[in-house]
Amino acid sequence: MRRIALLSTVAFLAACGGSSSSSGTGYLRVANLSADLGALDFCVATAGGTFGSPVMAGAGTMAASGLVRASSLNEGALAVSKYFSYPAGTYDVRVFSMTQVGSSCASPLLTATNVSLGNGVYKLIAAVGMTGATGAPHSLATFTDEATVATGNVAIRFANTGILALPGATPVALPPIDVGVIPAVTGATYTLIFGNVAYPGVAAGGIVDTNGYAIVPAAGFAAGAALWVCSAGVAPPSPACQATTVAAGVIAGGTVATAYVIGLAGVAPNALLCGDNQAPPVVGYPYSMCTTNPNPV
């Protein structure tokens, strides 16, 4: 795992759930990307097995607040756990509310079953959706992360996990989005990277790999860049586009990162940018160091 300038996470053995007979080690993290679920914790068991204790509650005092999605700048770190390591195998994951009476590992809000963790495989289980949102009920979305990319390149991915909430209208799943980049150099133009990214998922086809990552030269981010999220089929400048500024040196060669488009579009759209391949900044840190940028360029 590599350190990158913006974000960091930890992988270590979590004593939760059962064991697996497969050889090797897989890595799992959980995210709270829902617009309204509040603080969450989770439990893990081998598929069909007995669930152990809540993972975040057992990760030390710093993790006592669980997984809390925040929309303020730099508070996204609390939304995504670090990677916890498990013997390679197949697992069930239960997510429960830390504030709802009766919600627990035995009475979860959401469950993901038969999550396959192969040797060296990294996965993220994300709670998404919003109460009353059309096409976006609360659910768990599974993403396969990546950990390595050639030094001179960047592996970057955008996930559509947002809600469109216009004043006076019923919230709906964020419609498909396009994402492109304008490097912060004179004369740079907009280049579409991810097209028609549907909720709740990542881009497919085109230049992206099977997990939704685009492998692009790191030089394009050396001076900084603006990452533009637009309604599908629209390019900036347009009121249907939102930009997130990436400062010079933040995304360097060897970086693997995912930007989760979250928030309530039409109210406070933003992208939660999380590194997928960093070393820990602090031993025992329970969260992935993610940042949000709700402000347009």
pLDDT of 172 > 90? The answer is: yes
Helix (H/G/I), strand (E/B), else coil: 218:
helix
pLDDT band at 220 (very low <50, low <70, confident <90, very high): confident
Kindly report, residue by residue over 236-248, the tens digit of the pLDDT: 988 888 887 888 8
Contacts of 61 (CB under 8 A, 6+ apart): none
Rg from Cα positions in the chain: 18
Mean pLDDT for the chain overall: 84
pLDDT band at 279 (very low <50, low <70, confident <90, very high): low
Separation CA 203–CA 272 (nearest Å): 17
**For the residues 220-230, what does the mean pLDDT come to?**
89
pLDDT of 219 > 50? The answer is: yes
> Pick the residue with more confidence: 51 or 3?
51
User: Contact, 208 vs 157, CB < 8 A?
Assistant: yes
The pLDDT of residue 80? 92
Label the pairing between strands 270-275 and 290-292. Answer: antiparallel
